[in-house]
Structure 1
Amino acid sequence: MKTQSSPATTETGARIYGVHQRPVIRGKVFRRVAVTALAAALLGGVAVPGVAAADSSTAVPMAAAGQDRPELQKAIQEFVDAGFAGMQLRVHDQRGEWVGSAGVRKLGEAAKPPTNGRFWAGSVTKTFTATLVLQLVAEGKIALDAPVAGYLPELGLDRRITVRMLLQHTSGLFNYTGEYYDDGTVVPGIPATGKEWLDNRFRSYQPEELVRLALAKPARFEPGTDQNYSNTNYTLALLLIEKITSRSYAEEMQRRILRPLDLKGTVVPGNRTELPGPHAHGYYRYEEDGQEKVVDITRQNLSLLAGAGDIVSTTQDLHTFISAVNAGKLLPAPLLAEMRKPYGKYNYGFGLFVQDLGPDCGTVYQHNGSPPHGYGALMYSSPDGSKTLTASVTWVDEATRGPAKDFQMLVDKLVTEVFCGGQPGAADEAKPAQ
């Protein structure tokens, strides 16, 4: 998959989305790449009702009694065979729950990734943020078509920019992690890739600092006239949530989503750089003075993606969350319909990509994510929330994005297996829902 920023990044029909990439459309399928916020895997092996509990040290697959899913184990092993370090996968469908992992937790060790580890979940965060905003809309505290400047006058925003435009990526605001134009022009922002990011990966940022950096740059287009994936939109949404509620984003997340759904493995880390508990490791490889160096980048400060890509979660929690969203447990039906209505060239609703897999497979709602390097997260759901796919993957990253060049193909195949029963070509023939 090609992106404007790096030749080997991937943006799949099984989308991961990135800090510096933007979606591109291939034929009739729009693919999304991963490089936006955080994801690494941490242990939290849990027994599931009606399921054999996995031993967290060996990450043996869990499956319903008597149930064998070799096709799923094969699918995640293919990621490892392609060069990814490790992967954990959780699938809920009509056959029950299956959880498994492949590869290694850490380079040089034999242990597999934990099957319910925590990880930096990247742009999956945007779905959480959009849900918080829409809950405030439901309460009459925010209007979707009201100017954001009316709520945050201190920022000097263009009054044409509405709350809806933030959630749909149609504001035109500069992406503070950098803009990549079709003609090859690059307008840099905060270092979010490569060696420059590596050397600054523990730096702390404040949300308003990120937004003001973006506002100091030229807008990409007039508000509402186009669509461009921008982390700035969701960091602004964070500031909006905090302004309206007089509470921190982390407090509102806990109060409105994490506590009601009992998502004990999900946190807003702020400036914390450690993944709590056992976890899979991500790496970055580069050359310096003629020598190749590999750096463990598991520790990083994701405050550079506040509200846009900074949560820590687990595959279990992402399953519970996305299932609850689509089952209508977090939003009233009219707002859920708005959230899931595809808009623009990316078929983006409010914090969700809408992907039509074809007549035999149906529609899935998803948002994937990844921090600048070494990690990826997947989150997919059927319209009623009864079938989900959640996963985390790690790799040794580099300037050319390492094995991520194969990411699109591998995720398409995995999504086809889970949502289309492995029908050949289903994902390739899919087109964005209209």
Structure 2
Amino acid sequence: MTTTIRRCTATALALLTGLTLVTAPAPVSAHAGGATQSALDALVRTHGFPGALASVTDRSGRQRDLTAGVGDLSTGAKPPRDGYVRIGSNTKTFTAVVVLQLAGEGTVGLDEPIETYLPGLVPNGAQITVRQLLQHTSGLANYTDHMPDESFDTGRHRYREPRELLDVAFAHAPDFAPGTGWRYSNTGYVVLGLLIQRVTGRPLAEQITERVIDRVGLRRTYFPGVGDESIRTPHPRGYLGPDRTDVTELDPSWGWAAGQMIATPRDLNTFLRALLDGKLLGAAELAEMQRTVDASAGLWPGARYGLGLASSPLSCGGVYWGHGGDLPGFETRGGATTDGRAVSIALTTTPDSAERHQHVLDAVDTAFCR
């Protein structure tokens, strides 16, 4: 899937401590919960995912947390309700929010060349705008398509600096001239992370934490520190490949501004509802974020991509806004609607086919529409 950080190493799938107590959630309607539970059960029993977690929020803000399958294959333990998972490319939406906040403050211009802020860094940077980096229309090669060939066991524990990731991308020709096409590129978001650091003079993780996580009270969302390969508890284990290799512990630095973060399904719902409700961006900046281009050829049927935010059609009418993301061992999909509904589903392995990925999208649609 091009919506994910697609490779940790050449052998990874090419698509893409402390105890926290969970309070009992207020129920959503039994009908909605039943349909979603059945969809999660099908993902496990019929489509081969080890475990699944979901959070469903209705228009009034009532939440229901659901699970299916097994959260730890070695013990048989169930997945924890609202457990922490690696959220992969959902990180891009957090990064985009910070960039758009800076635009609203007059610090960054969306249609300014990236060369203005990071002179000499990006090849042809005088022709590539901040907006194009946010919207995947820059043409920059996707570094995760070209990661060095090394064993997965070695590669998953290696720390990578952002500039190292860009060196991989910039060794390859652009996919197209800036603004003339659309192709998902993690490279653009690494550049945007460096942009944030340059104009604020502060670390990316700090800016995301202060400007987004703390502002809307996301108590179970964080940007892992340098060298942190763990996931806070409670969490399910993450698995990769047909032999179900446990890849829960890995260094996520190769995702950085494009995919390093960890959260829970409920926090993802809270984040997206707050975003669409105008609690993180001014009206003008949110409107820019939701100005979309057709991305169905690179994502899934009906998908459109804005500035770090995608819209997807619902079978019951309308669209939901979100992103989704994969990192080895985990997939997350879902979003929120403008009337306050939200759904986040997390799986404990990365889908190995377009068909299995579609089953996840179908489960999201079920949670919204039935």
Normalised to the residue count of structure 1, the TM-score between the two structures is 0.76
Q: Is the 8 A contact 1:44 1:118 kept in 2?
A: no
**Aligned twin of 1:113:** 79
Give 1:86-105 correspondences, 5 Å limit.
Answer: 86-94=51-59, 96-105=62-71
Q: Is the 8 A contact 1:116 1:314 kept in 2?
A: yes
Is 1:349 aligned to 2:316, yes or no? Answer: no
**Aligned twin of 2:42:** 78
Give the superposition deviation at 1:271: 2.6
Q: CA 1:410–1:354 in structure 2 vs 1: closer, same or farther (change >3 Å)?
A: same
Give 1:70-219 correspondences, 5 Å limit.
Answer: 70-81=34-45, 82-94=47-59, 96-158=62-124, 159-178=126-145, 188-190=146-148, 196-219=151-174
1:208-249 per-residue CA deviation (whole Å, 9 max, x = no partner) reads 221132122211111111111000000000000000000000
1:23-59 per-residue CA deviation (whole Å, 9 max, x = no partner) reads xxxxxxxxxx9954xxxxx97452256x2xxxxxxxx
Paired with 2:337 and 2:28, the residues of 1 have a C-alpha distance of 20
The partner residue of 1:47 within 23, 35, 49 is 23
Q: Is the 8 A contact 1:148 1:157 kept in 2?
A: no
Higher helix share: 2
Paired with 2:143 and 2:30, the residues of 1 have a C-alpha distance of 50
Give the superposition deviation at 1:413: 2.6
Q: CA 1:328–1:122 in structure 2 vs 1: closer, same or farther (change >3 Å)?
A: same
Q: CA 1:129–1:320 in structure 2 vs 1: closer, same or farther (change >3 Å)?
A: same
**Aligned twin of 2:300:** none
**Aligned twin of 2:333:** 378
Q: Is the 8 A contact 1:168 1:349 kept in 2?
A: yes
Paired with 1:322 and 1:108, the residues of 2 have a C-alpha distance of 34
In the alignment of these two chains, the number of paired residues is 353
Give the superposition deviation at 1:408: 3.1
Give the superposition deviation at 1:68: 7.4
Give the superposition deviation at 1:105: 1.0
The partner residue of 2:258 within 263, 288, 308 is 308
**Aligned twin of 1:19:** 5
The partner residue of 1:244 within 180, 192, 199 is 199
**Aligned twin of 1:389:** 343
Q: Which runs of 5 or more residues in structure 2 are unaligned?
A: 8-12, 297-303
* Identical aligned residues as a percent: 35
Give 1:275-424 correspondences, 5 Å limit.
Answer: 275-285=231-241, 294-346=244-296, 347-357=304-314, 360-371=316-327, 373-384=328-339, 386-395=340-349, 402=352, 404=353, 406-421=355-370
Secondary structure in 1 matching 2:65: strand
Q: Which amino acid aligns with 1:171?
A: S
Aligned-residue Cα RMSD (Å) equals: 2.4
1:338-368 per-residue CA deviation (whole Å, 9 max, x = no partner) reads 101111434210111112336x421111210
1:116-174 per-residue CA deviation (whole Å, 9 max, x = no partner) reads 11111000000000000000000000000001011001415311000000000011111
Q: Is the 8 A contact 1:231 1:308 kept in 2?
A: yes
Q: Which moved more, 1:148-157 or 1:168-177?
A: 148-157
Q: Is the 8 A contact 1:113 1:280 kept in 2?
A: yes
Paired with 2:368 and 2:14, the residues of 1 have a C-alpha distance of 21
Paired with 2:132 and 2:234, the residues of 1 have a C-alpha distance of 39
Q: Is the 8 A contact 1:17 1:34 kept in 2?
A: no
Secondary structure in 1 matching 2:100: helix
Give the superposition deviation at 1:411: 2.3
Q: Which amino acid aligns with 1:365?
A: W
Q: Which amino acid aligns with 1:267?
A: Y
Q: Which amino acid aligns with 1:93?
A: D
Q: CA 1:164–1:285 in structure 2 vs 1: closer, same or farther (change >3 Å)?
A: closer
Q: Which amino acid aligns with 1:326?
A: L
Give the superposition deviation at 1:205: 0.7
**Aligned twin of 1:256:** 211
Paired with 2:39 and 2:21, the residues of 1 have a C-alpha distance of 21
Q: CA 1:65–1:230 in structure 2 vs 1: closer, same or farther (change >3 Å)?
A: closer
1:99-130 per-residue CA deviation (whole Å, 9 max, x = no partner) reads 11011111132321011111110000000000
Give the superposition deviation at 1:312: 0.8
Q: CA 1:68–1:228 in structure 2 vs 1: closer, same or farther (change >3 Å)?
A: closer
Q: Is the 8 A contact 2:139 2:178 kept in 1?
A: yes
Normalised to the residue count of structure 2, the TM-score between the two structures is 0.88
